[in-house]
Amino acid sequence: MVFFCMLFCCQTIIVVEENSLNQKIKKIERVSITDQVVKQLQTLIISGEFVIGDKLPTEYELCGQLGVGRSTVREAFRVLAATGMIEIQPGKGAFVRHNHENSFDNIKFCFVEKHAELSELIEVRMAIEPLALRLAVRRASDQSIHQIQEIHEAFKSAVGRHNNIELATLDESFHNAIIEASGNSLLIKIGKLINDPMMEFRTRSFAVEVHVDNATQPHERILNALLAKDEKASARAMLDHLDIAREDMEKVVQNIS
């Protein structure tokens, strides 16, 4: 069992792993206490520390190990139960349960907790996004296309503000909207899994002005191919865009390493 001690100050949490010979302090995150508890329990389950059928520590035990109140633990249990990861049995406790979504949780663990390499993330995107765009050409509703157009216009408007976080968020929204327009639930889930690890790369890359131009123009070509209902051109435009994005992000990573 992995035990944790947590220090809270203005919802800033420092997580210290006690049973490590060299104490390791995780990156400070400004998130709610409940979300931190949920994330730690998810990590323990996904990594195999707890398996299907295992009983989780009691509320009292978790309060002591995590340094939080019982209301926080109860809320975390409710969140995990709502996702199907655990089952709460009155009078018995909380148990890890089987859930068909857990396979996606394991993939997410690899991407987020294990810090997937940029090259791996781009390879996944190059596999799913051209396909998603081809499907969107066939299936996208007028409303979906309008949403993609609006996001693209918002991205162009944001260019002059030189806010790399805003640009990264809009870039993510643009690509998410295309994947969602595909109507393929599996592609949508995979796309969402890589959003978090990709965001850091997006944000760093858009701090470089030329990289912003390298996204704006390809987005225009992608949108035009979608509007023209040209599957081949849309897939080619997406592949070209992702290839340039990979080069831009790799340059940024090399500069900070």
pLDDT at 44: 84
Q: Tell me the one-letter amino acid at 11.
A: Q
3-state secondary structure at position 17: strand
User: Which domains, from first to last, does the chain contain?
Assistant: 4-96 (1.10.10.10), 117-256 (1.20.120.530)
Name the residue with tokens 């890359």: 205
Q: Which long-range contacts (CB under 8 A, 24 or more apart) does 241-246 make?
A: 241/215, 242/122, 242/125, 242/126, 242/129, 243/126, 244/214, 244/218, 245/122, 245/205, 245/214, 245/215, 246/118, 246/119, 246/122
pLDDT at 13: 38
pLDDT at 256: 57
pLDDT at 111: 46
Question: CB within 8 A of 185, min separation 6: which ones?
Answer: none
**Two tokens at 4?**
């944790």
pLDDT at 59: 93
* Distance separating alpha carbons of residues 130 and 135, to the nearest angstrom: 9
pLDDT at 9: 39
pLDDT at 195: 86
3-state secondary structure at position 185: helix
Instruction: Tell me the average confidence (pLDDT) per consecutive run of 10 residues in the chain, 257 residues long.
Output: 42 41 46 83 82 92 93 90 85 80 50 61 94 98 97 96 94 97 94 85 92 96 98 97 94 73
